Amino acid sequence: MAVKNLLKGWSAARAPDGPKAAPAADDAARRLALFEDIERASTGWFWATDREGHLSYISPGAAQRFGIDVAALLGKPVAALFETDPDDQAERSGRPLQFILGAHARLADVTVRLIPALAGEGAPPAWWALSGQARLDAAGAFSGYRGSARDITTEYERQTQDSRAAEYDSLTGLANRHRIVRRLDQVLAAYRQTGQPCALVLLDLDRFKAVNDTLGHQAGDELLRQVGARLTKVVGKRGEIGRLGGDEFQIVLPGIDDRGKLGELADRIIGALSLPYELAGDRAVIGASLGMAIAPFDGGDRDDLTRAADLALYAAKHGGRGVFRFYSADLRDEKDERRQLEDDVRAAVASLFEGGDCPQLDLRYQPVVRLSDHRVMGFEALLRWERPDCGEISPEMFVPVAEDIGLIGLLGGWVLRRACADAAAWPLDVRVAVNVSAVQFADPAFPAEVADVLESTGLAPERLELELTEAVFMGDSHSTDAAFKALKALGVRLTLDDFGTGFSSLSYLRSAPFDKLKVDRSFVETCTLQDQNSARIIAAIIGLADALGMETTVEGVEAFDQRDVVCARGAKQIQGFLYSAPLGQQAILDRIGAQTEPGAPLLIEPSGPDRHRPERRSVYRRVGLIHQDHRYNVLMRNLSATGALLEGIIGVPEGTGVVLDLGGGQLAVCTVSRSQDAEIAVEFETALVSDGARGLVTRHRASPAALAAAARIPRVSTPQFLEVETRKPR
């Protein structure tokens, strides 16, 4: 019936009354039958609206396809019933349906769907290609739409899948390289006009390869999926995440230049990705390194910005991993320095095996002393490197390099053999502790190497302590457990070093057979502070170890007040400068030889300052001090997050507002809090934030364009203060 009405109007519109009225009636009947066939076969549907754009007809089959009653649709504005594909619109800037209908324009295969809230419950998604034309009445006024529709759901879904595959990473569901790169281009282009910032983060997983190699690709894929999910959770709506391939990710964060906030976000990302992963029955732990660069400060276009973020990532990976770094201009030099360092480490390790007279690397032994009677219980072997033309370099700096260039096995093996041989030569029954890198520990051949060294040096296994850090739990749990078992079977002792600085997960303590915990030096450094937080943590760690039947050593005790605090908090063994710095093998033999009673235990009396003085971070850097429109050159002597000490300017009254130019667009607004002779102390209005590598940076920076504009402003007034020659750095 309804179709008849529809066709009545339709044929009337096409075949106006005229002499051929009778054949037209036959024609109309034939058409009616044809239309009804089409509707029944569901190959096409028809629809019409009145002059207000309200739906006046829709094929019943179409309504059924939506799981909805025809009556529920009739009389409603078409624009309120259907919508175009929102993604499609955003991508191809197609016009919304409402717009087309409002303009009475022709609809030619417009992809629409019933507004999801209207579709019947459980109705499958249905997409239509909607066509139609506006009808005009005799007076030329719009009298409604009339048109047809086709179900294109299958076609549409296949197309969307294809375009998803072209844009998204099938493994993690994150944007793929193609999409994220385009997104960065889009954001940078849009923001260039308005001068808004945009941060780019490059992220690389640490030790992903180890998990992939040991647990297999399926576990590796699952791990990447979980990484993607964790990243999405932390980053949220702040930006878009893409996977560039392998274990590399990129995050585009439009509108952010606050390095404080970025640093916090980076810390949260590192924290989230470093939590253990459950992979089909296996447990794995990995880490993440992040490099960050911000447009327009570090680069204006995609290439420059990506290069900057890449350099920062490189620095993060080589700065100990599990950290973030911001780009800064000196990273370019750092890359060259790093290459030089790698070459020098290679030469140093080679010097151990070349049989020359003076290898560049050597071992020192630092005594571990029992507090109650000052008796030496053991020595920790510590590597020393005399780098040609540079002096002594910290093992904290070169051990990670040796790990990266694949030489740690060789170097660590040498340390183990040498320390065991030296200890076997001590005429005392004390232990020797050897630091073992996580990379060295992960080598399945390591336990056999330990067995071999014990046998060839003749050292009793219970005299050897292997110091491991929580990094050994990185990677998969099976091989870690197997290594623990094999080492325990040899009878050596296992120590967990630097406890309290990493994950400090209690589950490790339960599952791994440690004999001792070493309380990290950082707690001792702050244990005499008023708030007593570090002192309490030391007490808690010692209590925990006691409860688990483990020994403890407290590291880094330098002064008597620290000794008193840790002693009151339950420490029984101490290692620190208060008792002794690390000693050479000859010095140890001499000390033992000087004992009045041969074979008697070795005792060391403490000696050192009464009180611990916290180290101030000294810097010697030329910086600019801006007051009104003058820039003075001053020497920065020290810097903290809240202020700085400057030298080289006379006559600045306390309370003066100045701007400190720390370079690279870093301008810190500050107030002079103290002024004496040529030295002034300033306090920052906004505290500086960490650069991820023990340095400090301003949260925001002035853009290169603003700096260039400022440089063009002519100086008008005469300087108010006197710039003076500074003394040579102390």
Residue 678 and residue 635 in contact, taking contact as beta carbons nearer than 8 Å = no
Which tokens hold the place of 188?
């940078």
| Block residue for tokens 């030295």 | 679
Options 151, 334, 497, 661; binder of Mg ion; rule CB under 5 A:
497
* Per-residue x/- track, 351-390, ligand C2E (CB under 6 A): ---------------x---------------xx-------
SS3 619: strand
Which residue type sits at 717? S
Nearer to ligand C2E, 197 or 582 (CB): 582
Report CA-CA distances (Å) from 514 to 481, 495, 521. Answer: 12, 5, 19
* Per-residue x/- track, 169-188, ligand C2E (CB under 6 A): --------------------
Nearer to ligand C2E, 520 or 679 (CB): 520
- Report the candidate in 415, 185, 301, 15 with the shortest Cα–Cα distance to residue 407: 415
- Cα 368 to Cα 431: distance, rounded to the nearest angstrom: 9
- CB of residue 218 to ligand C2E, shortest distance in Å: 32
- Cα 711 to Cα 629: distance, rounded to the nearest angstrom: 10
719 binds, among Mg ion, ligand C2E, none (CB under 5 to 8 A by kind): none
- Cα 478 to Cα 219: distance, rounded to the nearest angstrom: 13
Which tokens hold the place of 189?
């282009």
Q: Does 556 bind ligand C2E (CB under 6 A)?
A: yes
| Block residue for tokens 């690397």 | 361
What single DSSP character describes residue 583?
Answer: B
Options 422, 551, 558, 691; binder of ligand C2E; rule CB under 6 A:
558
Q: Does 467 bind Mg ion (CB under 5 A)?
A: yes
β-bridge partners, 680: 646, 675
Nearer to ligand C2E, 216 or 584 (CB): 584
Which tokens hold the place of 381?
């072997």
Task: Name, in order, each residue with C-beta under 8 angstroms of 194's C-beta and a sequence gap of 6 or more.
Answer: none
> Considering only residues 479-518, where is the footprint of ligand C2E by CB under 6 A?
497-498
399 binds, among ligand C2E, Mg ion, none (CB under 5 to 8 A by kind): ligand C2E
Nearer to ligand C2E, 394 or 456 (CB): 394
- CB of residue 379 to ligand C2E, shortest distance in Å: 12
Q: How many helices (H) and strands (E) does the chain have?
A: 25, 33
Residue 273 and residue 227 in contact, taking contact as beta carbons nearer than 8 Å = yes
- Cα 318 to Cα 583: distance, rounded to the nearest angstrom: 29
> Considering only residues 400-439, where is the footprint of Mg ion by CB under 5 A?
435
Nearer to ligand C2E, 341 or 668 (CB): 341
Nearer to Mg ion, 254 or 367 (CB): 367
Options 228, 576, 648, 664; binder of ligand C2E; rule CB under 6 A:
576
If one counts every other C-beta atom within 10 angstroms of the C-beta of residue 121, the result is: 6
SS3 579: coil
- CB of residue 380 to Mg ion, shortest distance in Å: 6
- Cα 56 to Cα 697: distance, rounded to the nearest angstrom: 67
Q: Does 498 bind Mg ion (CB under 5 A)?
A: yes
- CB of residue 580 to ligand C2E, shortest distance in Å: 9
How many residues line the site for ligand C2E (CB under 6 A)? 24
* Per-residue x/- track, 390-429, ligand C2E (CB under 6 A): ----xxx--x------------x--x--------------
- Cα 254 to Cα 525: distance, rounded to the nearest angstrom: 40
Q: Does 552 bind ligand C2E (CB under 6 A)?
A: no
- CB of residue 438 to ligand C2E, shortest distance in Å: 8
If 0-12 CB within 10 Å is exposed, 13-18 middle and 19+ buried, where does residue 112 land? buried
Nearer to ligand C2E, 135 or 612 (CB): 612
Options 302, 370, 521, 699; binder of ligand C2E; rule CB under 6 A:
521
Q: Does 582 bind ligand C2E (CB under 6 A)?
A: yes
Which tokens hold the place of 431?
């232990």
Q: Does 681 bind ligand C2E (CB under 6 A)?
A: no
Q: For binding to ligand C2E (CB under 6 A), which residues are involved?
A: 366, 382-383, 394-396, 399, 412, 415, 435-437, 467, 497-498, 521, 555-558, 575-577, 582
Q: For binding to Mg ion (CB under 5 A), which residues are involved?
A: 435, 467, 497-498
